Structure 1
């Protein structure tokens, strides 16, 4: 018991020194390298006392600390060049609570929070720089995602409705949040890197946001006589390659227990595409281009459309399985892949996770949808792009389609890779 006591005090001292070091380096006049360890130790000792004498000890300590800082700020306000700010004060109160939580809560959580406080304080200039770069449209995207994820999602009923009892409003919108979140992460990565991105990064960002939208943009631009057909084909192909990473990520989030079976065949096709992308990259010309302006993926209209597609695909899968058996699911996969491969991926993953579809059929449905989507994008290039870029894209996608069909045909049933993944979403 005595050893645990000293270990807890040592952790409190270390966390206080870490935050105090940062505040001292930032030339805080209120608290620094000596004061923050004292505050954290104060919280830890208050936590020990509260175990024996009650929670009023913690409340009194927090009130005393707040009063002490108020007096210190009042005295400092009489000096010239007084800087009004609450960062150090907020950090001090939080570190007091962290010290107490070391005793009353979980040590790992307290350590993580204390370390996060130090990192957050250290990233002041970086965070301010990011905020300065955020425009009105970017702020709107953030707020729209907040509405989608934190306002709409919690109020939806978490129960099934409709035919086959497969339409769950909460689950449907949860998938919307996942897809919009993935797209939004790519959108902000584009905001940071997009204007100075090269071919590879442009394709990666395009795949994160929307490989289909990227295909349409670059296919249209390929008709410009000054545009490079090799560059356009490479960006389109890289974006489609990244979409496989997106697919595997979606499966990992929704149905992590299926990854040992689902990931290997999808990764095999992804590896083939990476090899092809490298070969094309080595033969590229020296021209450079910037990504076209990307739209906000967090618009409510976009979310509603995807939610509707996801619900339709989920219902179609249930109908096909009931009326046509497993063979009918492949028709749904092909049709769904023409419009949105995310919807069929999430629907299939959910069915695998709850046990309504075996994983061997599941990964095949996802791969069929992905191959259907690749064929659809090749058709888009043929309609919207010039002959040169279409020829290059058709060759690359043709090889991928052939490779994907070989995986579907030759991949052993019930093959599993021991990657140590399990559990439910």
Structure 2
């Protein structure tokens, strides 16, 4: 924008921008208002919004310092809009004030364009246009909301915006890298990813099939997702077995991406070391899933997760507390394992942690383990992931009732992913 001012007068450029933005807002309002209310309830057309923007610009440039003319014009415009609203609600029983508020925003565009950077006033216009067009989308979302949805959002805001800043960042036990802040920070990050996956499943991919359920569920918990998919496959038709096996492998693929995000947040050093490994493994699991899915004839009716399973909300205080307790337990185990058994004991612990939720163990490694080398931390994280994949494979076999039609897909798919993990881990050790 500064380059344009070098060739054209600033006043001309500002006038063109104000006129263009006001016209765009007016066109958007004309479309929505005609569809919603009809021509008789409009206080003006798209030209009216354009003239409102131009009026705001003229009154602003005549008195840019004191802005008395601009404020006086705003009062007059507000009075006219208020009169229009009174007539509209008394004669036509239309009570919405969105159009009036947007008209006042249009009036304020001129000083915003004249005084603020280009990214800011473009952001204002884009926000107005998007919120105008998304009215019906917001209505649909509100209709889908469960009765306690706002309470769930309040819980997340409470644990992240109220509890976390209040916690001290001092060691609870001398010599152990464990503070109330670090415990709750890990809980907030994992809860945030879980809550995001829940929102995607609930409002974006609500009627999704089994494959999308595996993808979204893997962001939250691959173990829980694989267990649910395995239970459902127990009674699913034979021709859907490949789809269920593929969904389980997609959950594993998303698990690698989830840990990639967590590593990036908590340890840049480890991230720079292991991100190629995690990307390769995520890609490998996805390729194996695609191979299994493409080999079988696809069902015309994709399976859809049960309503109860779709709407289960992972963001609960008891879940957060359980995670926090597990984080403390693994922190103490890691600390004393290093003292009494060294890095060899830590390697063993990494495999044992795979029998449960490995996220607390890995996050504890990321946040510091008493001077352990970054290479050892990265290797232990990879070993824990391999152990967890083996456990997930066992869960898939057990909860599916050991169905023969699914067993070959699980053993072949998970076996390929585990083998690739082992190869990369050996390569990681010997580079």
How many residues end up aligned between the 2 structures?
A: 409
Greater shift, 198-207 or 170-179, is seen at: 170-179
Q: Which residue of 2 aligns with 1:342?
A: 359
TM-score of the two chains, using structure 2 as the length reference:
0.80
**d(CA) in 1 for partners of 2:182, 2:223:** 25
Matched, 1:187 2:198: yes
Matched, 1:70 2:87: no
Alpha carbons 2:211, 2:243 under 8 Å: kept: no
TM-score of the two chains, using structure 1 as the length reference:
0.81
Q: Which residue of 2 aligns with 1:423?
A: none
Alpha carbons 2:386, 2:418 under 8 Å: kept: yes
Post-superposition shift, 1:132?
1.7
Q: Structure 1's 197 and 49: CA in aligned 2 closer, same or farther, altered over 3 A?
A: same
Aligned residue among 33, 36, 47 for 2:49: 36
Post-superposition shift, 1:264?
0.8
Alpha carbons 2:211, 2:250 under 8 Å: kept: yes
Q: Which runs of 5+ in 1 are unaligned?
A: 415-425
Post-superposition shift, 1:125?
1.5
**d(CA) in 1 for partners of 2:343, 2:33:** 67
Aligned residue among 141, 159, 171 for 2:169: 159
Q: How does 1:73-152 map to 2 (within 5 A)?
A: 73-77=85-89, 80-97=91-108, 99-136=110-147, 138-152=149-163
Q: Which residue of 2 aligns with 1:176?
A: 187
Post-superposition shift, 1:32?
4.4
Q: How does 1:234-383 map to 2 (within 5 A)?
A: 234-255=246-267, 259-287=271-299, 288-292=302-306, 293-294=309-310, 295-320=312-337, 326-351=343-368, 359-383=374-398
Give deviations 1:222-271, integer Å, cap 9, x for gaps: 44375654343222222112211222233334446764433111111122
**d(CA) in 2 for partners of 1:133, 1:343:** 33
**d(CA) in 1 for partners of 2:387, 2:339:** 23
Q: Which runs of 5+ in 2 are unaligned?
A: 35-41
**d(CA) in 1 for partners of 2:81, 2:362:** 54
Alpha carbons 1:44, 1:102 under 8 Å: kept: no
**d(CA) in 1 for partners of 2:140, 2:126:** 22
Post-superposition shift, 1:319?
4.9
Aligned residue among 21, 27, 40 for 1:15: 21
**d(CA) in 2 for partners of 1:358, 1:7:** 58
**d(CA) in 2 for partners of 1:225, 1:129:** 31
Alpha carbons 1:194, 1:291 under 8 Å: kept: no
**d(CA) in 1 for partners of 2:20, 2:122:** 10
Question: Which structure has the greater CA radius of gyration?
Answer: 2
Matched, 1:205 2:233: no
**d(CA) in 1 for partners of 2:63, 2:360:** 52
